[in-house]
Structure 1
Amino acid sequence: MHVPPSLQTDDLSTAINLVGAYYAARFDDFPKRGDSPPFFRGAFFDNCSTDPEDADFFTPADLLSLPMLSIGLGQYRTVPEVLYYRHPQYSELLKGIGPDRDLADEPGPLPAHWPARRLEKALCEIRGVSKVTATKLIARKRPRLFPIFDRVVKSRLAPDTVFLDTVHAELSTNETLRTRINEVRNGAELPNSISALRILDVVSWMEGQHPEWRTYTAPTADRNFMTQ
């Protein structure tokens, strides 16, 4: 895996600044906010108040989170397929995955029949649901376990290899990287509900798309992270 440059050093200020800029909208007094930093709606994707009772089935909130990451709802059948017609199938697969846990602790290599892979494949059977959409839905339910597949992030972390397997192999063997990711989350004053996978995703995406915010310093006073 190509470790993001800002996570290759013990000086994590650049990574903290990029993550702080990405999530700044969730700290703002929204009616009074200005244009610095720009509004990253992806900051609102993360489910920071997960209801354990919803862990094993997709909800309308999961589908409505997709536009936060610039993903539409696909064809006209997507919503009824996910919430109704295929609901029992997807619920059984989510139960088969088991509770959320850190991908780094998952025994490897990940088998082809790993339940999360099977759920991704099953979601992609719906016309209009791509790998990008499927992984974002799974990440809503298992944010610590399943990484979001994004074309920008893929091109930066694992351009020539299988994305999931590459990220898993790196995190499971690179303790220094895991420690730095946790330090970035703490440095940006984010709650533990923002997973290590999501921090890695945001750092990679911001480096690729918005490196101009590498010197941004988020305010630190009276910051209460919004919940959904």
Structure 2
Amino acid sequence: MCLRIPPALWQSHRAAELLRSYWAVRWDGTPACTGSRFERLGGGGDRLSVANRFTADDVIAVTTLGVSIPATAALQLLEPDPAHAFSELLAQLPVTTRLVDVDASLIGREGPARQLWERLNGLRWIGPVIAGKLMARKRPALFPVYDSVIKWVFDRPENDVLFWSDMRCELQADDGRLITHLERARTTAGLGDDISVLRVLDTMAWRYGKEVMPSRRQLAHPCPPQWLIES
């Protein structure tokens, strides 16, 4: 086992239920969970015209996941100094390649993915969580969203440097059993196939974590409890 996935997330009915609640829409057309607009806002961060540079849409998209990027940090993303070389590194990360298919060297210690994460993480006011969310916005099929809820649900170590590789391992295991499960849950929940299986797993796990985590009341909550959505 590469990734510890709670048994509840393997249950087809439960998985679809969690996804539906995350992508629910209120009576006035607004999303029940702002994060449901993360991928699609502005046409997506991986569309051809902007795939290799950060845009204002990317900055706004990240805020839908319950974090904020101060103006100083946003300007570093949108008007980067050449030393940051964000575009150069993004260009080395294939837009259409899925994490399950990517060569391990690309996400390894010396690979462009790790280099980009470190440069983003090194910017003032960005940090590891926002860096990961920015990368998930630019390459949704390649990088999963990671935060304190995901860390808890998957029982990750304190110094977690292997999340991408462990996720890749799990996606490859048992002839792609996890991918098949996630694709079926996505279809059952009525989501479009433009939502990557990584995001399906992430939102499913995040919703589950918000329901069962002992400290869930203290965590950022850009999505109300399910009983409020259904009322």
- CA drift of 1:46 comes to 1.6
Q: Residues of 2 paired with 1:181 and 1:62: CA distance?
A: 25
* TM-score for the superposition, normalised by structure 2: 0.81
User: Contact 1:104–1:168 (CA<8 Å) still a contact in 2?
Assistant: yes
- CA drift of 1:69 comes to 0.5
- CA drift of 1:158 comes to 4.2
What is the CA deviation profile of residues 33-64 of structure 1, one whole-angstrom value per residue up to 9, with x for unaligned ones? 7xxxx921111112263331111111100001
Taking the TM superposition and a 5 Å limit, the aligned residue runs for 1:21-170 are 21-25=21-25, 28-30=26-28, 39-47=32-40, 49-50=43-44, 51-74=47-70, 76-86=71-81, 89-108=85-104, 110-160=107-157, 162-170=162-170
User: Contact 2:171–2:177 (CA<8 Å) still a contact in 1?
Assistant: no
Q: 1:44 is aligned with what amino acid?
A: R
2:16 maps to which residue? 16
3-state SS in 2 of match to 1:154? helix
- CA drift of 1:165 comes to 2.2
* Aligned-residue RMSD, C-alpha: 2.4
User: Contact 2:9–2:205 (CA<8 Å) still a contact in 1?
Assistant: no
What is the CA deviation profile of residues 53-103 of structure 1, one whole-angstrom value per residue up to 9, with x for unaligned ones? 1111111000011211111114x4211110112477111110011223210
- Structure 1 residues 81 and 165, CA, compared in 2 at 3 Å: closer, same or farther? same
Q: Which runs of 5+ in 2 are unaligned?
A: 213-224
3-state SS in 2 of match to 1:116? helix
3-state SS in 2 of match to 1:24? coil
Q: % of aligned pairs identical?
A: 29
User: Contact 1:100–1:143 (CA<8 Å) still a contact in 2?
Assistant: no
Q: Which runs of 5+ in 1 are unaligned?
A: 218-228
Q: 1:205 is aligned with what amino acid?
A: W
- Structure 1 residues 121 and 184, CA, compared in 2 at 3 Å: closer, same or farther? same
User: Contact 1:103–1:172 (CA<8 Å) still a contact in 2?
Assistant: no
1:186 maps to which residue? 187
Q: 1:24 is aligned with what amino acid?
A: A
- Structure 1 residues 86 and 181, CA, compared in 2 at 3 Å: closer, same or farther? farther
Count of residue pairs brought into register by the alignment: 206
Q: 1:201 is aligned with what amino acid?
A: D
Q: 1:120 is aligned with what amino acid?
A: W
* TM-score for the superposition, normalised by structure 1: 0.82
Q: Residues of 2 paired with 1:20 and 1:107: CA distance?
A: 33
